[in-house]
Amino acid sequence: MKTCDRTQPSGCAGFSFVELVLILVIIGILSAIAVPAYNGWMRKYKIESQVRTMVTEFSELRLKAMTTKQRQSITLNANSYIFMSYSSDAVPLGSGAVDGGIKTVAYPLMSNASTPFAGTMLEIDQRGLLISTPDTIYVETEGTSTALNCLTVHTARVNPGFSATIGGACNDR
């Protein structure tokens, strides 16, 4: 059996068992700290991404209304929204053709009254203008601090924004 001579440069190389266990304990502690922070960051990113996607899709619907010269509508529900197109003004609201399918969302959509949406319809005319009352759509964040958590549907535009509370003022951009 070879003995280690620590005075020589080529002496015993490697780590002791205690050193390896200590390194594993340190890695475990750092992981326990980092994983919750990472999960919070991912949740924040997904909420903001949902708001940005909705703003883009709502704006594209306005553009489609202008280019096709057809009325469009958005039906808002707690966990989804549906786009519909209408072949003429004679077709009643809600009886149009579903256009693009049902868009499901990961985080619930809330109204001004802090209640989930349930069949609220927003109608857009052939010029891309909102006919129904402008509305603010809040995304349920459950304590997650985000830069974007609401969007305001105005007569001629859709803006993302931030609200400190659901039902509060949406500081849209």
Mean pLDDT of 88-96: 86
Q: Are 46 and 146 in contact (CB under 8 A)?
A: no
pLDDT in tens, 33-68: 888 888 888 989 999 999 999 999 999 999 999 999
User: Is the four-CA dihedral 80, 118, 89, 91 of positive or negative sign?
Assistant: positive
| Whole-number pLDDT of residue 84 | 94
Task: Indicate the average pLDDT of the chain.
Answer: 87
Q: Which token pair is 144?
A: 């997650």
| Whole-number pLDDT of residue 90 | 86
Q: What is the 3-state secondary structure (H, E, C) of 137-157?
A: EEECCCCCCCCCCEEEECCCC
Rg (CA), the chain: 27
Q: Are 135 and 167 in contact (CB under 8 A)?
A: no
Q: Are 129 and 155 in contact (CB under 8 A)?
A: yes
Q: Please, what's the b/e burial string for 59-86 (b: 16 or more CB within 10 A of its CB; e: otherwise)?
A: eebbebbeeeebbbbbbbbbeebbbbbb
Ramachandran region, residue 101 (left: φ > 0; alpha: ψ -120 to 50; beta: rest):
left
Element (H, E) at 102: strand 97-104
Domain ranges across the chain:
17-172
Residue 2 vs residue 32, higher pLDDT: 32
pTM higher than the cut 0.85: no
- Residue 106 pLDDT level (bands cut at 50, 70, 90): very high
pLDDT in tens, 114-158: 789 999 999 999 999 999 888 899 998 877 788 899 999 999 999
What number does CATH give the domain 17-172? 3.55.40.10
